[in-house]
A and B are shown apart, each in its own frame.
Chain A
Amino acid sequence: MVKIDAKIPEGPLAQKWTNYKAHQKLVNPSNKRKLDIIVVGTGLAGASAAASFGEMGFNVKVFTIQDSPRRAHSIAAQGGINAAKNYPNDGDSVHRLFYDTVKGGDYRAREANVFRLAEVSNAIIDQCVAQGVPFAREYGGLLDNRSFGGAQVSRTFYAKGQTGQQLLLGAYQALMRQVELKTVTLYTRNELVNIVLVDGKARGIISRDLVTGKLQRHFGHAVVLATGGYGNTFFLSTNAIGSNGSAALHAYKKGALFANPSFAQIHPTCIPVHGEFQSKLTLMSESLRNDGRIWVPKKKEDAEAIRAGKLKPTQIAEDDRDYYLERRYPAFGNLVPRDVASRAAKERCDAGFGVGNTGLAVYLDFKEAIERLGEDTIRARYGNLFQMYEKIVDDNPYDTPMMIYPAIHYTMGGIWVDYELQTTVPGLFCAGEANFSDHGANRLGASALMQGLADGYFVLPYTVQNYLADDIRTPRMKGDEPAFVEAEKESQERLNKLLLIKGKRSVDNIHKQLGHIMWDFVGMARNKEGLEIALEKIKEVKKEFWTNVNVPGTNDGMNIELEKANRLADFIEIGELMALDALMREESCGGHFREEHQTEEGEALRHDDKFAFVSCWEYKGEGQEPVMHKEDLKYEEIQLVQRNYK
């Protein structure tokens, strides 16, 4: 029987992390060298954790599926990173960042974790500046800030539209310094395919060398998963093509709980879908909403004329434009949180006011900002984003408004972790987007970078050390113990099975089918009937996959189709969990919108009396229904109210 214990330290909220650090156990330097830590994933959370462990003197092994740690998908984050520095003197504080994050998450996050996140946010900025991250600066030489959705202060630090890139390169460089110093061993083009448990504790992984196709056994006294989110379950998302949920699913199958799987974020500002051959959706940074105004035509006939190509957006008079976010949410306007902005766009398009040739697009217009600030200022702020848009769509956003539509972007759900970021499997930790912890039912912009680096630089170095302090007498295992042999066999059998199906459909073809089901029934608006249909249809996809997928080639050497098939097998199961969780949660909150539960004005309606909990799913074996456990969310500092951005 799984016991859910978040292990939240005693004391008032603001003292908990200080208390934890004051009482945690330590490992002395000579023992650190004898302890191995495996880190899987080299995005912000993984790279920062691995580098920090190496600096501390632990023996670290770090794994990435890409050819270099620098390519992890954190690199693509554009807009910025939040911190409670209050440099602009606009009333920000640790408490306010904490409050905004809990409120933005629609009161479904754990208070103690979010407070710690806000508390360490300032240290992240200090750390990155010391590493040489070239954040944007004012003429006086001090750091510049901008505002982001869900906040009324400017607390977002940025490096052009490439903040994720610069933060990741900072962490990557710190990591490579440790690789040079030989505290960290780097494994590139190497993918986790299984997790090894010995006596109930995580003791290593089985990985697949993606170049040779060979499986490898790796021992670790502790294992940290920092493998990102599972947004690619939808096939089309803003995630990188290789981003996957397999490590999380392996953890789940080995006894870790999967928390809030249905909480997925739909980002309002993405370039709309244009065709069936499309491979991914491109995000346009939320920072654009600082200066861009979102609108659709007020008159249906104008929208129809635009869709037919007879009218251009620039020909629509000011009075005939519906700036619907400013109309519905005067206090926050274009800067409402992502879930609210996404649903508002869907509402307008469903009502027949959408633009673009599909009618599934709205305008993001910079005309007024250009008139107010000049084209040069806009170019300095968003030049690379405008260029990116123009290369894809072949339209110049300085002259004509951008077209945008929501797309799957981030998954708030993930592996359940306690305050120490440890899963229910001892020794198995989970950080960054891969865990569920800090964003509740909706993540605010510029908070993913903050959480990834908070986990890696400032939380795991304490909590993993605390865990390992009890493990100093455990000798290294060689990798030929029965648990390792058995786990490798299990993985090899699965790969062989995939190769033997020799069906008729490509991996992508089946993945697209899954994606359509997810988007239609488990997407922006969900209802009981649709979710039940989704569950049926996902079962069909699963059967189709395991009987009719075509994986060419062999196990030897590089086989990209085999990698993809191995990941899709897991996406199908994650899709099932998402639908199951969405069906269970009979309320609307954040990114999870159940049509049956909305206010008269069409806003998300929570049911705190019944659903103020984290749903934690326990794997019960192949073909068995998972069992749900609840972690009740207790709020001490914050009073639960309906979110109001009006």
Chain B
Amino acid sequence: MEKFLNITLKVWKQNGPREKGRFETYKLSNISVDSSFLEMMDILNEQLINEGKEPVAFDHDCREGICGMCSLYINGRPHGPDDDITTCQLHMRKFKDGETITIEPWRSAGFPVIKDLIVDRSSFDKIIMAGGYVSVNTGGVPDANAIPIPKDHADESMDAASCIGCGACVAACKNGSAMLFVSAKVSQLALLPQGKVEAARRAKAMVARMDELGFGNCTNTGACEVECPKGISISNIARLNREYLKAKIKD
């Protein structure tokens, strides 16, 4: 049943943050439909190295859809033409023989390009630093079963916590907003009694940090939810807005 594809790649190449970028065109033949998209990129790089050329730099690590490192913009969609997956889980069976595939980095003011397809997402870490945690130190905490938590709250919190911090939501957003990312963390913690204590401070601090870092505003287009590989719902954004308003009214 094995099938092979011949494809043309248009890949973004950029030497550094301040250098000018350009598209390079490469041809690849006999790519198995069972190979993953990143394995196809490996084959491209192997070919480039053997031709004495410099390989294409791209971010990737776990290759099982959980680390959030891979971040390719494929044919105009973050993580490519399949739903609910990361780039590393995309397989070549989603493409046709003879197809031209365009590969770009995340493009957003909050994520400057480092090299080729690699962008700097340290702004996400900075947003978490502003308040994406429960302020407890190691030790001296109560027994894990001391506070019962309704199962549906725990489940809803877990759904929000599934965010892998890849940045597809920002890349998909025409405003370059990080609201889905921020709201997922705010929701996860606001839904649990442990996180409620600091909920107001957290919502304000994380939103303020997001604004400082140059991310855009949310205009409810919903593109982030569509492209999120983990299916994080925009209802989290509604919850963030409620938490934020509540906090502001109290001020």
- Which residues in A have some Cβ–Cβ distance to B below 8 Å? 48, 51-52, 55, 66-71, 73, 75-76, 85, 87, 122-123, 125-132, 134-143, 159-160, 162, 165-166, 169, 172-174, 176-177, 179-180, 186, 188, 211, 240-242, 274-275, 277-280, 282-283, 309, 387-388, 391-392, 394, 457-458, 461, 506, 508-509, 550, 552-553, 557-558, 560-561
CA distance A73 to B136 in the complex (A): 24
Pick from B59, B128, B137, B164: contact of A173, CB under 8 Å: B128
Chain B nearest CB from A169 CB (Å) reads 7
Chain A residue with the shortest CB-CB distance to B194: A132
Pick from B39, B55, B129: contact of A180, CB under 8 Å: B129
CB-defined contacts of B120 to chain A, threshold 8 Å: 67
Known contacts A70-B68, A125-B144, then 15 further A-B pairs from the complex at CB < 8 Å, ordered by chain A residue: A51-B138, A67-B121, A71-B67, A126-B144, A132-B194, A134-B154, A134-B188, A177-B129, A179-B129, A282-B63, A392-B36, A394-B93, A508-B42, A560-B55, A561-B55
- 14 pairs across A/B with beta carbons < 8 Å? A52-B137, A66-B67, A68-B122, A69-B125, A71-B69, A73-B67, A75-B62, A132-B188, A132-B194, A141-B149, A165-B164, A173-B128, A278-B39, A506-B46
CB-defined contacts of B132 to chain A, threshold 8 Å: 173, 176
Report, as a range, how many residues of chain B touch the other chain. 35 or more
How many contacting A-B pairs (Cβ < 8 A)? 217
Tell me the B144-169 residues at the A interface (CB within 8 Å): 144-145, 147-151, 154-155, 157-158, 161-162, 164-165
**Would you call A176 and B134 a contact (CB within 8 A)?**
no
CA distance A503 to B157 in the complex (A): 53
- Which residues in B have some Cβ–Cβ distance to A below 8 Å? 1, 15-16, 32, 34-36, 38-39, 42-43, 45-46, 49-50, 52-55, 57, 59-69, 82, 84-85, 89, 91, 93, 114-115, 118, 120-122, 124-125, 128-130, 132-139, 141-145, 147-151, 154-155, 157-158, 161-162, 164-165, 188-189, 192, 194-195
CB-defined contacts of A73 to chain B, threshold 8 Å: 61-62, 67
Chain B nearest CB from A267 CB (Å) reads 13
Nearest 5 A/B pairs, CB to CB: A141-B148, A173-B133, A130-B141, A180-B129, A134-B158
**Would you call B121 and A140 a contact (CB within 8 A)?**
no
Chain B nearest CB from A516 CB (Å) reads 17
Chain B residue with the shortest CB-CB distance to A238: B64
Chain A nearest CB from B102 CB (Å) reads 22
CB-defined contacts of A391 to chain B, threshold 8 Å: 65, 82, 85, 89, 91
CB-defined contacts of A550 to chain B, threshold 8 Å: 49-50
CB-defined contacts of B139 to chain A, threshold 8 Å: 123, 127, 457-458
CB-defined contacts of B66 to chain A, threshold 8 Å: 75-76, 162, 165
**Would you call A279 and B38 a contact (CB within 8 A)?**
yes
Chain A nearest CB from B155 CB (Å) reads 8
Q: A126-B142, A143-B144, A278-B39 are in contact. Are A76 and B151 (CB under 8 A)?
A: no
**Would you call A131 and B42 a contact (CB within 8 A)?**
no
**Would you call B121 and A279 a contact (CB within 8 A)?**
no
**Would you call B134 and A241 a contact (CB within 8 A)?**
no
**Would you call B39 and A277 a contact (CB within 8 A)?**
yes
**Would you call B137 and A274 a contact (CB within 8 A)?**
no
**Would you call B32 and A277 a contact (CB within 8 A)?**
yes
